[in-house]
Amino acid sequence: MSNPPETHKRPHSDLEQSRTKLCEEFSQITGSDSGVAQCHLAENEWEMERALNSFFEADLEAVFEVDDSPERDTSSHQSKKKKTDNDAKGKCIDLTEEEPAGSSGTSKTEAKQKSPEKEDDKLSLISWNVDGLDTTNLQERARGLCSYLALYTPDVVFLQELIPPYVMYLKKRAVSYLLLEGGEEGYFTGMMLKKSRVKLLESNIVPYPTTQMTRNLLIAQVKFRGLDFCLMTSHFESCKGHADERMKQLRLVLQKMNEAPDNVTVLFGGDTNLRDTEVSKVGLPRSVCDIWEHLGRQEHCRYTWDTKINTNKAAPYVSRCRFDRIYLRPAPGGGVPRPAPVNMALIGLEKLDYGRYTSDHWGIYAQFTTS
């Protein structure tokens, strides 16, 4: 019997190739192996968004209940037990007022010396992909984030790769902040506003029309010291092969930045996954500045994704990229202060007591003048 014509083989081959690519992308996004990827995709008719939601619907609450389990309470952990007892009574504990949890044992006093009290007229910001998709030491790493909030007391925090249990943890522990969510299922972005300094006017979520990874743009209109700000955060499409989609998302963000009224300053920050060549192809308008470039392209705070130093992923390769970026469009209107970046630093560079970093990304801390 003769072999079927080549044309009968091609569709099967193309389908297999397409599904292999989907499995690879699923694994890169979730950190799972190919078997798990294939299982979730097959169960959801090979639709990426449905498969991702299916994967993240698993009950991750237990990840954050380790400290609350009775068998973990010992005589050497009385202070932790006291906090657990308070939790059981339904009380909120603001971990952003506690001592940092780094292995260096930095005290609160030393932390203030390390990060001097900021001037009242400066707006401070942290942008950080906190890698909630990695459930290893997740509670300890979430507590590490709160420690950095205590260290820097930022007015605004942009977060990426949050998951619902992480959000619950932050709402319970960081009560001095209002937390806005860019989603409810799977993983998503978030924004934290210091209640005593930033007044929320309104917020909304702008979907990316062609995303395959449920990405969107979270926007908040706020008041800070009488000035109007439009705050934006996002997590652009991941993986090298999705450059076209990333550039579409960048164009949409820049469009929204330029559409803001002349009396409004726009701050965007997030895990853009952008490569410099992609930004060059899109082109930043003259009204928008990349704060790292504006502050002199300092080498020590260039790479926010750095597997040469950050061992959380145990990557067998060295990759150093500036995935995380902050863009500023000062209010162009006459008679309105034009905020400008005054400093920038990478944070999360110290391992926690548990031997891992707060995230596989470094965070960005920045300050802006407002007068």
Q: What is the β-pairing status of strands 156-162 and 122-129?
A: parallel
Of residues 7 and 132, the one with the higher pLDDT is 132
Tell me whether residue 250 is in a domain: yes
- What φ, ψ does residue 289 adopt, rounded to 5°? -120, 145
DSSP state letter for 238: P
Instruction: Indicate whether this model's pTM tops 0.85.
Output: no
For residues 98 and 208, membership in a common domain is answered with yes
> Which positions are annotated as active-site residues?
271
Tell me whether residue 41 is in a domain: yes
For residues 50 and 98, membership in a common domain is answered with no
Q: b/e for 285-294, b at 16 or more Cβ within 10 A? A: eeebbbbbee
With contact defined as beta carbons under 8 Å apart, do 205 and 217 qualify?
Answer: yes
237-258 tens-digit pLDDT? 999 999 999 999 999 999 999 9
CATH of the domain at 322: 3.60.10.10
For residues 128 and 40, membership in a common domain is answered with no
Count of structural domains, the chain: 2
The pair of structure tokens assigned to 303 is 């790479």
For residues 181 and 301, membership in a common domain is answered with yes
| Containing structural domain, residue 24 | 6-58
The pair of structure tokens assigned to 121 is 């007229």
For residues 125 and 201, membership in a common domain is answered with yes
For residues 217 and 285, membership in a common domain is answered with yes
Tell me whether residue 87 is in a domain: no
**% of the chain exceeding 70 in pLDDT:** 79
Q: Which residues pair with 180 in a beta bridge?
A: 191
Q: How confident is the model at residue 291, as a pLDDT? A: 98
Which range (113-127, 170-184, 279-293) has the least confidence? Answer: 113-127
Tell me whether residue 301 is in a domain: yes
Q: How confident is the model at residue 241, as a pLDDT? A: 94
261 contacts: CB under 8 Å, gap ≥ 6: 228, 333
Across residues 337-341, what is the average pLDDT? Answer: 94
For residues 225 and 298, membership in a common domain is answered with yes
With contact defined as beta carbons under 8 Å apart, do 257 and 269 qualify?
Answer: no
